Amino acid sequence: MRKKDVIVALDFPGKGEALGFLDGFPDGERPFVKVGMELFYAAGPDMVRLLKDRGHRVFLDLKLHDIPTTVRRTMKVLSSLGADMVNLHAAGGSAMMRAALEGLGEVEGRPLVIAVTQLTSTDAQTLRQELLIETPMAEAVRSYAQNAARCGLDGVVCSPLEAAAIHAQCGEDFLTVTPGIRFAEGEAGDQKRILTPEQAAQAGCDFIVVGRPITRAANPLDAYRRCVREFGGTP
């Protein structure tokens, strides 16, 4: 799979809205897309199969976090959908992460498995006061990433601000998939740790996940192409 790619977050309430958005893209341009909980729970597993049939690569962002047996069995089901990338919460611990890999099987062509470190909407105050984690954010994220790497996962979801430190700790091949991307003049919304696509590229991010700056743009196709251009990929 090509590194340095823009993943468009299909945060839509249903299949009709998602396909309506994708209809704005020409035939030869099939962005890598992310199906999150909203769309998956509304449109079901067939949405993933449909997107694959239409030639999209799919990041299935369901952020599993449960007991190891449940995660192993669920990953086995997800592996049959043809997703290119799936994820889970590193906070579920090593046993859960290893069980996820077991469920996906050791076969060639399994989806990439990515661990969420800390949500990019979580700030230092929330970490300390609500999650009761005294370790500073950067150190906590690095430690979660190291744990995921030791378990054999392919990378982490993290803030673009953390990508360089994670590569330094876990190696250049360990993938950093980074939401929290905004154009220079854009609104942050609920994201708290953000960078522009260009800054994300400089920080060494492998994939950027971009939702509202593209899906809510006056011209989504232009916004997508701008994102790809600034991040340094080819549409």
Q: Identify the residue among 191, 199, 217, 229 touching ligand C5P (CB under 6 A).
A: 191
Helix (H) or strand (E) holding 34: strand 32-36
Q: Identify the residue among 92, 111, 155, 211 touching ligand C5P (CB under 6 A).
A: 211
Which of positions 20-39 make contact with ligand C5P (CB under 6 A)?
A: 36
Could you tell me which of 217, 234, 131, 139 has the C-alpha nearest to residue 182? 217
Rounded to an integer, what distance in angstroms lies between the CA atom of residue 162 and that of residue 210? 17
Q: Identify the residue among 15, 65, 212, 225 touching ligand C5P (CB under 6 A).
A: 212
Binding mask 58-87 for ligand C5P (x = CB under 6 A): ---x--------------------------
- In the complex, least distance from residue 37 CB atom to ligand C5P, rounded to whole angstroms: 8
For helices 94-104 and 137-150, give the axis angle rounded to 10 degrees: 40
| Percentages of the chain per state (helix, strand, coil), in multiples of 5 | 45, 15, 40
Which of positions 89-148 make contact with ligand C5P (CB under 6 A)?
A: 116, 119-120
Rounded to an integer, what distance in angstroms lies between the CA atom of residue 101 and that of residue 85? 12
Q: Which three-class secondary structure state does DSSP give residue 85?
A: strand
C-alpha neighbours within 13 Å on the C-beta side of residue 196: 11
Catalytic: 52? Answer: no
Counting contacts by CB under 6 A, is residue 179 touching ligand C5P?
yes
The residue from 4, 15, 63, 192 that is catalytic is: 63
Counting contacts by CB under 6 A, is residue 199 touching ligand C5P?
no
Q: Which residues of the shown chain bind ligand C5P in the complex (CB under 6 A)? A: 9, 11, 36, 61, 116, 119-120, 157, 179, 189, 191, 209-213
Catalytic residues: 63
